[in-house]
Structure 1
């Protein structure tokens, strides 16, 4: 039984953590190495293998407390990564889509008749969502780091989770709105260019990916809230 104390401890710890698989694996490896080193030190003091492992685990700390500390670290990392991706990818995705639209479809006036004002309003609002979401993510990343130094590092995780959920929700709402508006105005415009259909599909894949990141980020931050 004693020979398995460290592995049971590490397995129990790993089952309590959520976050990047690589980061979880690295933390568990560090934990196992630390426990192994402590065990070897206790062996040198004359303890048996079982006693040495039990002493090492006892000194390392209760699984629940260590898991909470590790989860805070994982949540911060996840929040930071999510905000960075939002700040960088959203504007690039929007610029690529707009360039493709202008190149393959053309400006609004090329459709023969200009779309009504309500449609242009929705289109312009949708154009702004990516830029605003990206800017808010960048500000949240900077402010979160500053506040985390003064208060609690877990604050960045909570800020990242909140901003990520709102940003992805805003971008999702903007995309759904323009699709529904286009379908109402002229459904043929939704399928008039195969390359743009592919670009739209890629955009939705990115948005869905961001949604999953935001959900995971929120889950990680909730655990340490």
Structure 2
């Protein structure tokens, strides 16, 4: 029987319903749906060989595969872990690179934060130092989460693992965002003229914020994928 006939009817409705319930990477969703369709098609062919008609064979294959809500929940957990892992990898790599690039540009085009003509207050130096450490700490936390995720993958429930990964990613991005906002507000309070940077550093600042926002969206999407898992 042709593949176009085999894919129609009960199987087609099941796969469409399954796909409508999934969130995550489009490619991974497509791969999972293809895998499900192939499994259902193989099962249908087996039932056809046993003498069932096409509709009955497809219905039997779908029943054996499992309720669409249950399968969607299992697939969504896999998608959430994959999306969270991707986000943590980006955090572990991009944050230190972004910070090193910014620091190099700042020293080249602006100079030390402490160079205000007069010694800035101790609280400002504390904020500046904390902001310098934030990206490194957030990157390190993301890396540790990736390693622990690998180690605990067989021990922890996939759904819990997805939620933990997403939570760590969101917290890391939040810390970086807070650090950047804090140093901007502190600098504006101590010497607002320092916010008027050279063109190269203005471009670098814009790129930095674009990266932070992008990472934040990835982290938020990871949490969304994880929290729809029942």
The TM-score, its normalising length taken from structure 1, stands at 0.92
DSSP-derived class of the 1:192 partner: coil
DSSP-derived class of the 1:188 partner: helix
Give me the whole-angstrom Cα distance separating, in 2, the residues matched to 1:85 and 1:118.
32
**Residue in structure 2 matched with residue 203 of structure 1 by the alignment:** 208
Q: 1:137 to 1:109 in 2, by over 3 A?
A: closer
How far apart are 1:79 and its partner, in Å? 1.6
Give me the whole-angstrom Cα distance separating, in 2, the residues matched to 1:116 and 1:24.
53
Aligned length: 224
**Residue in structure 2 matched with residue 65 of structure 1 by the alignment:** 70
Partners of 2:114 and 2:125 within 8 A in 1: no
How far apart are 1:191 and its partner, in Å? 2.1
Match of 2:185 among 180, 189, 192: 180
1:38 aligns with 2:43: yes
Matches within 5 A, 1:48-197: 48-108=53-113, 110-197=115-202
| Structure 1: runs of 5+ lacking an equivalent | none
- Cα-to-partner distance string for 1:89-145 (whole Å, 9 max, x where unaligned): 111110111011111122246543343322221111111111111111111221222
Give me the whole-angstrom Cα distance separating, in 1, the residues matched to 2:183 and 2:116.
17
**Residue in structure 1 matched with residue 3 of structure 2 by the alignment:** none
Match of 1:224 among 214, 219, 229: 229
- The structure with the largest helix share of the pair is 1
Name which of structure 1's ranges 67-76 and 106-115 shifts more when overlaid on structure 2. Answer: 106-115
| Structure 2: runs of 5+ lacking an equivalent | 1-5
Give me the whole-angstrom Cα distance separating, in 2, the residues matched to 1:191 and 1:22.
43
The TM-score, its normalising length taken from structure 2, stands at 0.91
How far apart are 1:195 and its partner, in Å? 1.0
Please, what is the CA RMSD of the aligned residues?
1.7
How far apart are 1:30 and its partner, in Å? 0.9
